[in-house]
Structure 1
């Protein structure tokens, strides 16, 4: 796969990610939920962009995270370019492209959303609002896909979690998160074929 095709693939995933986020942000209030099926819902939440809800302390934590992500994207792009020049496995190039697209998608939220949207609490947000909810590099990431496939109490005999209420799959995510997860999964599953040298 050429660099041009890879970049077009990254742009396609990025556009799908941003269109879905902008649609949710401008049509849903925060925590609004629509049932598609009992096990699949569209549930609008926002987060600061850290994995598993972890936050960096202080006023500069979010800025540091966003700048770190931008540097990481530079490294991922270099890895993609280098892999294409070395004529690496197509699976490797697709994996890196997915990871790059996902990282870019969440960076767009963090960098721009705070200055182009108003707050989503108790109202549907407006794109290019005169009253933005944040500042540059302090936007929140939009998540919407929720798959609570099973809910119930775990058996008492299980160590640590026995008897506790549990939801599988409890994470709420977006297209960018899915792209990163699929990219990493491909790297793990096809590890021997990708890195045979």
Structure 2
């Protein structure tokens, strides 16, 4: 794969990710939810978060900045990995995975860095793009999530099941965005096609 093609694929993922997020921000208020095609298991549900896995947060006034700067550093590291893999003509499995992970990470960083100053808040209202009353400052924006697929909803688990016995169970309970999906697919490629991804005898040409 050429560097030009890699840039194109990254741009496409970023474009889809950001268009979907801006649409949600400017058409939904926080925690608003709709069923797609009247399906209970396919919903658009608007939430915002700090953009870190498992809800990790660093307390204090500078915690969000530290997390954002760490993620920016990680993106630069992934960019170097992509360039190095292209120069070495690594397999398309590896390069595709890195492209997806890079584009996804960059998509969520855009939210964290810019959204706080681009939008006003979404609580009980639809946010305004380029508002003169932004909801936060630089590097303090929140990541927009919207896709929700609760295939199994509030299923009563038997009492004997460890940890969740006797409680209502929902699967799949995560709410995510295009960037999250890209990262997950990229990581999935590395796991499922591990041997092909890191096989130096397979060229990307």
Normalising by the smaller structure, the TM-score range is over 0.9
Partner of 2:203: none
Is the Cα contact below 8 Å between 2:91 and 2:199 reproduced in 1? no
**Alpha-carbon distance in 1 for matches of 2:86, 2:185:** 20
Partner of 1:49: 51
Asked whether 1:26 is paired with 2:29, we answer no
Is the Cα contact below 8 Å between 2:121 and 2:134 reproduced in 1? yes
**Alpha-carbon distance in 1 for matches of 2:67, 2:56:** 11
**Alpha-carbon distance in 2 for matches of 1:194, 1:179:** 17
Partner of 1:154: 157
**Alpha-carbon distance in 1 for matches of 2:163, 2:47:** 29
Partner of 1:15: 15
Partner of 2:171: 168
**Alpha-carbon distance in 2 for matches of 1:115, 1:143:** 18
Pairs aligned (count):
197
Asked whether 1:118 is paired with 2:139, we answer no
Q: CA RMSD in A?
A: 0.8
Unpaired runs of 5+ residues, structure 2, are: 201-205
Bigger shift: residues 162-171 or 175-184:
162-171
Q: Describe the SS at the equivalent of 2:180.
A: helix
Partner of 1:61: 63
**Alpha-carbon distance in 1 for matches of 2:44, 2:198:** 37
Unpaired runs of 5+ residues, structure 1, are: none
